[in-house]
């Protein structure tokens, strides 16, 4: 019988983007008519740029290289072993166009991550702003509000950044002891999942960029 070293079957991630609903948009409408004039509406939007990109960054693998994806488009086609490390990056773009407008960007997890085998996989994420400023490493599954320090995004910022996207980058590292399994058991091994992360852009009526 041929044996194989394996600790996990693969890794998966999904990213969805959308804007908040409900009272956040109580101030928005298609148009407000007045005698002899029309008030034009602004724009608040968030869109994904491309697909998630997986890269193997293991210390003994040079140079770092892209990891192929399975047919679902979110699962890495790689059997990870102890010492392996990866990054997965997803870009997105924000749009803010309006007067007296401010918004906050939030990264949160709608489906919790499953870092398996337990205790042998660590995962953190960073968000890179279009101007190159990078957030601190945050454990995967933990909500992060940007751009930081309670600040808001403003139309002036997004105009200055132009079409340059933001980037959400998750880093995973596999540790622990080797596990020897027969080839027939490889497909039933534990799967590390990053869960489902949502990036949301919400209008706010306080703070930087808004005048009461």
For 83-111, the pLDDT digits (tens) are 888 888 888 888 888 877 888 888 888 78
The residue ranges of every structural domain in the chain are 4-28+40-183+197-204
Structure tokens of 59? 């210390």
Q: Name the CATH topology of 4-28+40-183+197-204.
A: Jelly Rolls (2.60.120)
Of 162, 96, 153, the closest CA to residue 127 belongs to 153
62-66, 165-169, 177-181, 201-205: least confidently modelled range: 177-181
Contact 152, 204 (CB under 8 A): yes
**pLDDT tens digits, residue range 127-157?**
999 999 999 999 998 999 887 655 788 888 8
Answer whether residue 14 shows pLDDT above 60. Answer: no
Higher pLDDT, 147 or 25: 147
CA angle 68, 72, 74 (to 5 degrees): 60
């Amino acid at each position: 019988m041929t044996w194989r070293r394996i600790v996990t079957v693969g890794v998966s991630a999904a990213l969805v983007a959308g804007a908040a609903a409900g009272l956040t948009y109580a101030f928005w409408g298609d148009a407000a008519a007045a005698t002899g004039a029309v008030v034009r509406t602004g724009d608040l939007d968030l869109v994904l740029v491309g697909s998630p990109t997986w890269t193997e960054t293991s210390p003994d693998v040079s140079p770092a290289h892209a990891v192929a994806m399975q047919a679902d488009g979110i699962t890495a086609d790689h059997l990870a072993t102890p010492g392996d490390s990866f990054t997965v990056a997803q870009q997105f773009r924000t749009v803010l166009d309006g007067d007296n407008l401010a918004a906050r960007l939030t990264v949160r997890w709608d489906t919790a991550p499953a870092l398996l085998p337990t205790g042998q996989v660590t995962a953190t994420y960073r968000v890179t702003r279009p101007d190159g400023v990078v957030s601190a490493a945050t454990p995967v599954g933990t909500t992060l509000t940007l751009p930081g320090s309670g600040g808001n995004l403003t139309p002036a910022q997004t105009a200055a950044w132009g079409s340059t996207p933001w980037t959400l980058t998750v880093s995973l590292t596999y540790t622990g002891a080797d596990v020897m399994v027969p080839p027939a058991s490889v497909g039933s091994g534990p799967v590390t999942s990053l869960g489902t992360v949502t990036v949301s852009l919400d209008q706010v009526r306080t703070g930087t960029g808004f005048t009461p």
